[in-house]
């Protein structure tokens, strides 16, 4: 029953606040160009405020009802991630800012002891790593947050992606009889679905770094609290692959906006094509359009099909 309540609170709150934000951000002139559309319409940003309010109110209600410190750990991590993202939305920071700043988001999980140092590898068993698990929490938080942020490049992508990759976690909780953790997981789903209503193609609002980092850290915290870290990594493989391709070609941590040679180019008919420049970074999108140029919505559908595929692999891993 609690899972239904937290889902509805996060869904309704995010839906109402996103609608309100679209109007307020437009009035304040907090808008950015939608680069891949004719006439480049101005889209309000950051919508992350609505996402963090939706998740926070649901988790806070759950904490008041249950006094569960796991809920508090996730809530604090999400708020820290939002603040880090919001600073980046308002002021352009260096490439190292987000990976390093997101390490702070791991502190609530560690200080409130919201983890178990047994790392579960489905199929093969688990391994106790008491000394290594704390550094691993920092790595998981920073990696999940940044990889989620790295796929926030097209209309509706990051919100739809989060809905898809959270499904294996929900199934994992049910299979492992951890029903008590379902109410903690549902606000991520509720908030992502509500935001997707306005973020889907053609977007009426963008989440910004604050929104993408909030979703990524909520997912990372959930993976650690649920002891489903490996399942979460498998589901997140398309986003991890994207970051991996980028880092392996650029060979340094840097913001996309400062890369001189872009991985893709926009054609006159608004299709997106792969760059012919051999020095351009390799990304998931560049590989998807390598053989033929595609429209934005076609690329989004292809990335989401990869998310469905990796989530199926994660579910297979749970079931074997």
Partner 1 sequence: MIFLFIYITILWILILLGGFILVNIIAKIELKDIYLESLLKGGIAISMSILWIFIMVKIKDIYMRTIK
Using CB under 8 A, list all residues that contact partner 1.
121-129, 131-132, 230, 233-234, 237-238, 240-241, 244-245, 248, 278, 282, 284, 287-288, 290-291, 302, 305-306, 309-310, 313, 317
180: number of Cβ within 10 Å = 13
Nearer to partner 1 (CB atom), residue 5 or residue 313 = 313
Q: 33 - beta bridge partners?
A: 42
Q: How far is the CB of 217 from partner 1 (least distance, A)?
A: 22
Cβ closer to partner 1: 30 or 241?
A: 241
Rounded to a whole number of angstroms, the minimum distance from the CB of residue 40 to partner 1 is 28
Helices (H) and strands (E) in the chain, counts: 13, 6
**Contact of 205 with 45, CB cutoff 8 Å:** yes
Instruction: Specify the residue, 64 or 124, whose C-beta has the smaller distance to partner 1.
Output: 124
Q: Is 179 exposed, middle or buried (0-12, 13-18, 19+ CB in 10 A)?
A: exposed
**Closest distance of CB 106 from partner 1, Å:** 18
Q: How far is the CB of 274 from partner 1 (least distance, A)?
A: 8
CA 267 remoteness from chain centre: 29
Reference 218, options 165, 153, 172; nearest CA is 165
Sign of CA pseudo-dihedral 189, 190, 191, 196: positive
Residue 176 or 317: the one with the smaller Cβ distance to partner 1 is: 317
When the beta carbons of 257 and 291 are compared against partner 1, the nearer one is 291
CB of 95 to partner 1, least distance (A): 20
Q: How far is the CB of 310 from partner 1 (least distance, A)?
A: 6
**Nearer to partner 1 (CB atom), residue 29 or residue 130:** 130
**Residue 265 bridge partners (DSSP):** 273
Write b or e for each residue in 243-259: b if 16 or more Cβ atoms lie within 10 A of its Cβ, otherwise e: bebbbeebeeeeeeeee
């Amino acid at each position: 029953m609690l899972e239904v309540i937290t889902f509805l609170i996060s869904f309704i709150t995010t839906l109402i606040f996103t609608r309100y934000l679209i109007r307020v951000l437009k009035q304040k002139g907090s808008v950015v160009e939608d680069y891949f559309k004719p006439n480049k319409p101005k889209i309000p940003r950051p919508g992350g405020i609505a996402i963090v309010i939706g998740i926070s109110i649901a988790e806070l209600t759950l904490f008041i009802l249950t006094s569960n410190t796991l809920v508090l750990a996730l809530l604090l991590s999400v708020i820290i991630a939002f603040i880090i993202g919001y600073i980046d939305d308002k002021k352009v920071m260096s490439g190292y800012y987000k990976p390093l700043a997101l390490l702070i988001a791991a502190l609530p999980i560690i200080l409130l002891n919201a983890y178990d140092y047994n790392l579960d590898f489905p199929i093969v068993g688990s391994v106790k790593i008491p000394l290594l698990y704390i550094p691993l929490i920092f790595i998981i938080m920073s990696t999940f947050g940044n990889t989620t942020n790295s796929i926030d490049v097209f209309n509706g992508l990051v919100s739809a992606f989060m809905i898809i990759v959270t499904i294996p976690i929900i199934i994992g909780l049910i299979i492992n009889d951890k029903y008590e953790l379902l109410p903690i997981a549902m606000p991520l789903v509720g908030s992502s679905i509500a935001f997707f209503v306005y973020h889907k193609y053609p977007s009426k609002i963008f989440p910004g770094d604050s929104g993408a980092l909030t979703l990524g850290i909520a997912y990372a915290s959930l993976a650690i609290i649920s002891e489903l870290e490996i399942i979460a990594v498998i589901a997140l493989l398309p986003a991890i692959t994207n970051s991996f391709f980028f880092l392996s070609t650029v060979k340094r941590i840097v913001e996309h906006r400062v890369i001189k040679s872009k991985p893709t180019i926009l054609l006159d008919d608004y299709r997106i094509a792969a760059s012919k420049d051999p020095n351009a970074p390799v990304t998931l999108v560049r590989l998807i359009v390598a053989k033929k140029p595609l429209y934005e919505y076609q690329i989004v559908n292809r990335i989401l099909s990869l998310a469905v595929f990796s989530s199926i692999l994660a579910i297979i891993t749970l079931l074997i």
